[in-house]
Chain A
Amino acid sequence: MNRFVLADPRLCIGCYTCMPACVVVHREAGLQAYPRLTVTHTAHGTMPVQCRHCDDAPCAKVCPVAAITHREGMIFLNETVCIGCKMCAIACPFGAITPHGSGTDSQAIPTIPYLANGEEVTVEATAAARAAAVHPLLAWTAGERSIAVKCDLCHFLPEGPECVRVCPTKALCEVTEADLTREIEGRRQKATAEVGSLPSLWSERQA
């Protein structure tokens, strides 16, 4: 079974700390400086949504260049192979893949020139600055072409996913096969105990 990160909307306070934290570690790893999880608000609660690392991953199936593969207990997207066809984003049932790069809509907002010491300072377009740090093979510039981004479980960090580490309410957790097995066993125990504490259900029939 693949590992994945899941949030608990009962604990999540929607503080967004996980999103820039994700950007920082990926930027440092030479990957796209874009959050791999998206805090999502609904009437039923708030939480970040990210890749579930499906065992039968529809994104991997539709990728025409095999940029998305199943490896080391996760679904891995190789950003340097991606051709930006966006099929994976359409296939993903959770909206966990973002084709990033072409969305200049909000970045296009003209900003006011700022003054320092009476002198006008031009601040480079943040988008270009963001692009400057990525892996050379990515050849990616904001506004020019898009590349798919999705959660990679911070596989390059020995401590595991950065979002899990920084979340102040510990709303995020990395779920492994062992965790899920333990949880399922616990629930079975609970279910058994619950039925066990009821008056016998079948006695009438057995009588």
Chain B
Amino acid sequence: MDKVKTVCPYCGTGCGMYLHVKDGKVAEVTADPDHPVSQGELCVKGYFGFHHVADKRRLSTPLAMRNGVFEPLGWDAALNDIAGRLRTIVTESGPDSCAVFVSARATNEDNYAAQKFARAVLGTNNVDHCARLCHASTVAGLAMTLGSGAMTNSIAELGEITDVIFIIGSNTAECHPLIARHVVKAQQRGAKLIVADPRMTEMASKADLWIRTPLGHNIPLTNGMLHVIIKEKLYKPDFVKQHAVGFDDVVRAVEDFSPEAVERMSGIPAKQIVEAARLYAGAGNAAILYAMGVTQFSHGTANVASLSNLAVVTGQIGRPGAGVCPLRGQNNVQGACDLGGLPHVYPGYRPVTDPAVRTHFEQAWGASLSNRVGLKVTEVPHAIEQGKIRALVLFGENPLLSDPDSGELRHALDKLDLLVVADLFMTETARFADYVLPAAGWAEKDGTFTNTERRIQRVRPAVKPPGEARPDWWTFARLGTRMGYTGMGWQTAGEVWDEVRRVVPATFGGISYARIDKQDGLCWPCPDEAHPGTPILHRDGTFMRAGGQALLKAVLFDPKTLPEEKAKQFEAPLAGRIAEHPDAEYPFLLTTGRRVYHYHTGTMTRKSPLLDQIAPEELIELNPEDATALKVANRDFIKITTRRGHIVARAWVTERVPPKTVFGTFHFWEASSNELTSGDTLDPVCGIPEFKISAARVEKSSPAEAAKWLETIRDAYRVSLERATTARRLRPEPRVEESV
């Protein structure tokens, strides 16, 4: 058996693994003992999530939707058709009538090529991806306050150095298991763990101090902690004076967030706030870990800024083991952002509105570029409805399941003049496409992924892609060439990467394939080949913000109404509220998240019989108190309804959720919480929707109703499947045998 060293394709931890290849197929995955993060361990997805690679449902030829059926056509015809139709749409309605969604699942090379295609070939900044739905608040918030929207430290420091770990809104054990391992290691060393989470997650039950924050009440907690820290003089006056601006704003903003006031507002015990503040501020080195429980709110940016306030005021940043650690969800969501998969920045986070920057990229790419900030993922459905967007090209993303309010998006996709989807499988979204292109997956292509600690690591091909599947960079390059652009003549992924290094030298210049072949990745920024990389950002308080100082922001909050009166006292404060509150009709709150054994929309993990065996279906967490009131037993069916729609799924009766709260995921199309979430209330700064809170109604259901519901939802997702299934057989026998 051959073994090929590569990186896990699932979460942002970026564990090192070996793929063992037998008869041209991945037969087994083993852990890489020398990897700096995973150190010889993997989680359930890493070990057992590879079966999709050889699944017989893989796409292996380009397809076009014609007269209601998908018909195979060669690459040549597909590229010509798509290029022609894009050209027509651009001529008729201008470049901004097209949008490209890049992919946090694909390589840096793929993402660079895709955004270059949008900007240099189509001429639009309508480039975005699903980071909009996860860490947009981080990218915006930390860039504003610290100068860089990325994790400040490296993962292994947590296990080795950090004394106090404050996890807020991150279910680390399930979503980043191998980071949780470092937290457990730290605890064994005597480090203290504070967890703020409405759910009793595995991290919460390990915490020395668990604060059961009510949904959406992060700011009262962090502002309350800041109040205590300032009042008890636990902050670092010298550090603040030298390295930050805006301290007075914070002092005034948190003035009325005394622990007692916060307890009245949110029910969080005042004692816990004081204890958390003392523990965190008093630590030798403290780190904050956070994820979607902080970012996915209409006040996500404010949440993030309040955490950076906490770190800067106490000087818990810029040293080994001390910092702010947004845990990025997907294997390469960091890279997709770094490489310019965002509507307002070029690769390396250079603003599209800055003329000097634009000139640099115009010269590098030999094309004239747009100075208009593009549309965000969350703005695109509406723009389609209005006829402003006519063509959408997306790859490695399944927005129908991953984006809020699936119903609305289904309508929008149907209205497009041109939808092109490149993916491994015929996803729920791809079924709506005019062209479906077969993509080579992570086990089949060369390139790099960037994990959540900014470590750029090599991904290597172990097996051949099925049929005519191609890496996405190839697809975009060919499409660009067909449209008459000459700047995408790359022959290999390595050539794409070398261009990235040339175009954004300050960030990536020193990171060559040769170097990261020899060592397990390098953390950006790394400007030249002699540079060792930068595991720790903002070293010694030299912040990456212009001027080198951190910005402390006034963060205000009121659960019901935006505190506008108070906001007037500040220059550009960030203010938050919660959009939906329980009422008589919708007395529950629904919150969403992931589970460890499946990944996002399940396109990959649900093809693993092993993962499917432990988790074949959605389980909605329901508190025992509510279960008793509703006469629902564990694993009975329940119906959850919000203003957007309803789903029927089994209940998991558990104290993991507090009373009057239910929790669901988006792994299963049969019962995806995104049928229920709202895409209406967006964060004013970064446009992230409020995934984490929807007012909901919960009722007891029955197996009969569940069966009926399944028919309904199957129809909803089959709209184009029904048209498609009549397609003629393409080949005499299936390409791959049973993968079990």
Contact = CB atoms under 8 A, between A and B. Distances in A.
Interface of A: 9-17, 19-21, 23-24, 33-35, 41, 43-46, 106-107, 109-110, 112-121, 123-124, 126, 129-130, 132-133, 166, 168-169
A168 B42 contact: yes
Nearest to A120: B725
A13 B42 contact: no
Contacts of A117: 59-61, 63, 70, 72, 438, 467, 730-731
Interface in B598-613: 609-613
A-B pairs with the 7 shortest C-beta distances? A118-B70, A168-B41, A118-B727, A13-B173, A115-B426, A20-B610, A129-B740
A139 B533 CA distance: 58
A41 to B, nearest CB: 7
B734 interface: yes
B490 interface: no
Contacts of A41: 202, 654, 656
Instruction: Output the residue of A9, A35, A107, A166 with the most chain B CB within 10 A.
Output: A166
5 contacts: A10-B206, A15-B596, A118-B63, A124-B738, A168-B43
B730 A119 contact: yes
B727 to A, nearest CB: 4
Interface string B544-562: 0000000000000000000
A116 B586 CA distance: 41
A169 B724 contact: no
A109 B63 contact: no
B245 interface: no
B717 interface: yes
Nearest to A116: B57
A41 B610 CA distance: 20
B181 interface: yes
Given A112-B669, A112-B717, A119-B729, A13 B202 contact: yes
A114 B57 contact: yes
Interface in B401-441: 425-426, 431, 438
Given A43-B655, A106-B617, A121 B56 contact: yes
Nearest to A113: B725
A11 B734 CA distance: 45
Instruction: Output the residue of A35, A117, A124, A132 with the most chain B CB within 10 A.
Output: A117
Contacts of A11: 184, 188
A184 to B, nearest CB: 22
Nearest to A34: B613
Contacts of A169: 41, 180-181, 184
B47 A21 contact: yes
A15 to B, nearest CB: 4
B58 interface: yes
* Interface range, B side: 35 or more
Given A13-B177, A114-B57, A20 B614 contact: yes
Given A41-B656, A116-B58, A168-B41, A106 B616 contact: yes
B48 interface: yes
Contacts of B56: 116, 121, 123
Interface string B32-47: 0000001001111001
B173 A14 contact: yes
Given A112-B721, A123-B56, 17 more contacts: A10-B187, A11-B184, A13-B177, A14-B202, A15-B180, A16-B596, A16-B614, A21-B48, A23-B610, A45-B205, A112-B669, A112-B717, A114-B425, A117-B438, A118-B69, A133-B740, A169-B181
B71 interface: yes
Given A116-B57, A126-B612, A109 B738 contact: no
B724 A115 contact: yes
A126 B202 contact: no
B25 interface: no
Contacts of B731: 117
B614 A116 contact: no
Contact of B710 (A15, A46, A110): A110
Nearest to B614: A19
Interface string B223-241: 0000000000000000000
Contacts of B177: 13, 15, 17, 168
B696 interface: no
B670 interface: yes
A13 B724 CA distance: 43
A95 B654 CA distance: 19
Contacts of B718: 112
Contacts of B178: 168
A116 B426 contact: yes
A24 B48 contact: yes
Interface in B41-95: 41-44, 47-48, 56-61, 63, 69-72
B730 A20 contact: no
Contact of A115 (B43, B71, B431, B596): B431
Contacts of A168: 38, 41-43, 177-178, 181
